[in-house]
Structure 1
């Protein structure tokens, strides 16, 4: 059995000294009846990660928000992603998190389980409009059946392909099928490329592909309580499939990938396909350059026909700090940032494909963004419920999986050794 301490990694909060949930039910307002007082003069602090471009977009949306709600003043600040979370950890320890925060999925369980985030359920269907948000999208922001964040945007696991390389290899787009069909397709592309590029990379180096297969089989990576949904034998089977693919020479070698860093094989035109999140497309196009003006985007291989193996994941979310003195005003700002047409018009797909239908309708989608929207619509029959919010330590476990995949690629360890190391390291991570 794997047990884990529910402690916020890197945040020094003494036992029993967790932050009080200030106004978590809208002060004395009964749940479901939280309202906003338009006469109360309020100042809110908003924090997000990004760059100057994103900051300019936020400033434009905030200006429109303040015009509509003249009694609310919003002070915003931004940092790059690592510095953003370092600052939040310091603020969490001192009980002074910003009122509203752009939030990352991987931190949602840590912060919510330590009573650092406001329960948003009292504001749903009221201050926070839920009609523009599908239920499976709203559920993404839940931990233990309580809503702590609202997704701004979504993405899904997919397969990008390079049409120019496929034409050079004389191979048609992957038409769907099993993982074996995909491996055969990779081999045909590699053969057609004549040593100039490869059909793909070893897909068993990504924990998301393992999760996809587990979900199709009716299992999962980790339960709500942090229990793994797989054993040593199942992981060994997955990595053995990768060994066969690597030994065949159909995929790009690990040494070649390492030499190409920080670019991946796909965005340097060394591989013709890549399984990844669908919001990676813009980065691929930017790195590939004008010689590769478009990408293909198709569904991943199928493990079991009819399985609900895919799911929508938030590109990012918005959350409210439990220590906010103005929960109703903060919820009002969250609603505007996610649901307002102005937000969709200004942000477009800067934060990912808008999760709200009203924001999406107002967004001017470029060809790639429209392609992603069409892709997510095309996989609707394969979309199941999102898995539980990532367990504390998931990022470490994902990196352990990737590292072992790299060592398997170099041939420095066997599959049995990799499986043994993974379970040992996973046990340590889950019990620290």
Structure 2
């Protein structure tokens, strides 16, 4: 039987401390003196916005109905859009100063919105209206920008390696048993050779900035500091991209094949036996692989330095409150219910990812893949460190540039030296805009 307490305890130990609750300085889980309190008799209307589809919308409707059983005087008007349109509308609302009271939030936008003073400081509500007991400190810290909490994670995921058991059986190669990035490259080569040209061991991992980040974290650096300073120089980036040369020379899937199956990935289409990615991608992989696939392998990424805290928990999504809300206490009450209540766990299940809250997760019914992901996150507890600084403004642009240069490296249309020059030029523009 899976125990959430085991995961949270292990993750917190891996982060260097036992579970420390936000609000401890104010007296454990009790509300700090002078904290705002919500009058449940006040008639209040809140706007709630989220991204998703009709399935998620129906789940939100069910959770809102459960919320209204406890807070009948709070009317919640919800709306949803697909992810790109959701953020287009938020940008328009932000310019006009009329963001929704409560928003489902994405990590990549957190610094931009918080530093532009568009989000409410949640620290006065944590430990009181927003329960902190079910959320360990390393989870709460994810929503902190410049020492202030602006969002609370609904769910978490971690970087991992999915593998295809059907292809590995066909190749007669065992699951990747762990080891260094060089060991992983060698393993990929064994799979590629054993397949007889039918598929490949994996893709060029140097095309993903997250793999570079893992190596930097193992060395004690981050991609970018809170001040926006890069944690690497041209030489270190060149070293990383050069490490993928053997993969580009035949071990990994050719870039032309990658382009042919886009927008699906080579792993989605059974062209590769492994893929380094976020652990919440599993259900999408199973759906795309289709008939004949009932399970996937999920193992830890290669190791840069033994004992390093290179992995971390990332929010699948968060909830934040507009700085301009007329009802901050009621909004905080809604956020607490959406994240911490057993009703939210039971209704949402893993639709928003593995619940970050212990009380929500205990009430959630985990399907086999979700259980596998939860067990995986428990298994990497000794590698989990503190989350890195919240992504800099413009991080998405740099992530995409990194990917594009990785594609060009695989096509052989750019040298490592030129790729490094181009990336640093782009980074200079982003950091100084």
User: If the length of structure 1 is used for normalisation, what is the TM-score?
Assistant: 0.92
Offset at 1:429?
Answer: 1.3
Offset at 1:34?
Answer: 1.8
Offset at 1:218?
Answer: 0.7
Q: Which whole-Å CA distance do the structure 1 matches of 2:234 and 2:293 have between them?
A: 41
**Secondary structure of residue in 1 paired with 2:132:** coil
The equivalent of 1:111 in structure 2 is 113
Offset at 1:284?
Answer: 0.2
Please state if 1:349 is matched with 2:335.
Answer: no
Q: Which whole-Å CA distance do the structure 1 matches of 2:90 and 2:33 have between them?
A: 28
The equivalent of 1:8 in structure 2 is none
| Cα deviation digits, residues 371-406 of structure 1 (max 9, x gap) | 000000000000000001000000000000000000
Please state if 1:153 is matched with 2:155.
Answer: yes
Q: Which whole-Å CA distance do the structure 2 matches of 1:307 and 1:424 have between them?
A: 31
The equivalent of 1:286 in structure 2 is 287
Does the 8 A contact of 2:32 with 2:128 survive in 1?
no
| Cα deviation digits, residues 254-286 of structure 1 (max 9, x gap) | 011001111100010000000000000000000
| Cα deviation digits, residues 182-236 of structure 1 (max 9, x gap) | 0010000111111100000000000000000000011110000100000000000
The equivalent of 1:170 in structure 2 is 172
Please state if 1:91 is matched with 2:93.
Answer: yes
1:4-403 paired onto structure 2 within 5 Å:
33-247=35-249, 249-403=250-404
**Secondary structure of residue in 2 paired with 1:345:** helix
Q: Which whole-Å CA distance do the structure 1 matches of 2:95 and 2:118 have between them?
A: 10
**Secondary structure of residue in 1 paired with 2:192:** helix
Offset at 1:134?
Answer: 1.1
Offset at 1:119?
Answer: 0.2
* 4+ aligned runs moved over 2 Å, structure 1: 29-32
Q: Which whole-Å CA distance do the structure 2 matches of 1:115 and 1:232 have between them?
A: 34
Q: Which whole-Å CA distance do the structure 2 matches of 1:120 and 1:54 have between them?
A: 25
Q: Which whole-Å CA distance do the structure 1 matches of 2:321 and 2:81 have between them?
A: 18
**Secondary structure of residue in 2 paired with 1:167:** helix
Does the 8 A contact of 1:32 with 1:126 survive in 2?
no
Q: Which whole-Å CA distance do the structure 2 matches of 1:63 and 1:172 have between them?
A: 49
**Secondary structure of residue in 2 paired with 1:268:** coil
Q: Which whole-Å CA distance do the structure 1 matches of 2:352 and 2:273 have between them?
A: 27
Does the 8 A contact of 2:203 with 2:247 survive in 1?
no
| Cα deviation digits, residues 90-133 of structure 1 (max 9, x gap) | 11111111000000000000000011000000001000001101
The equivalent of 2:417 in structure 1 is 416
| Cα deviation digits, residues 50-75 of structure 1 (max 9, x gap) | 00000000000000001110111100
**Secondary structure of residue in 1 paired with 2:59:** helix
Offset at 1:244?
Answer: 2.4
Offset at 1:243?
Answer: 1.5
**Gaps spanning 5+ residues in structure 1: where?**
1-28
Q: CA RMSD in A?
A: 1.0
Label 1:310 to 1:264 Cα distance change in 2 as closer, same or farther (>3 A): same
Q: Which whole-Å CA distance do the structure 2 matches of 1:338 and 1:160 have between them?
A: 28
Label 1:385 to 1:285 Cα distance change in 2 as closer, same or farther (>3 A): same
Offset at 1:293?
Answer: 1.4
Q: Which whole-Å CA distance do the structure 2 matches of 1:86 and 1:369 have between them?
A: 31
**Gaps spanning 5+ residues in structure 2: where?**
1-30
Q: Which whole-Å CA distance do the structure 2 matches of 1:34 and 1:193 have between them?
A: 63
Does the 8 A contact of 1:308 with 1:381 survive in 2?
yes
The equivalent of 2:4 in structure 1 is none
Q: Which whole-Å CA distance do the structure 1 matches of 2:81 and 2:294 have between them?
A: 32
Q: Which whole-Å CA distance do the structure 2 matches of 1:135 and 1:214 have between them?
A: 23
Q: Which whole-Å CA distance do the structure 2 matches of 1:422 and 1:31 have between them?
A: 49
* Pairs aligned (count): 403
Q: Which whole-Å CA distance do the structure 1 matches of 2:299 and 2:136 have between them?
A: 23
Does the 8 A contact of 1:31 with 1:121 survive in 2?
no
Q: Which whole-Å CA distance do the structure 1 matches of 2:184 and 2:297 have between them?
A: 15
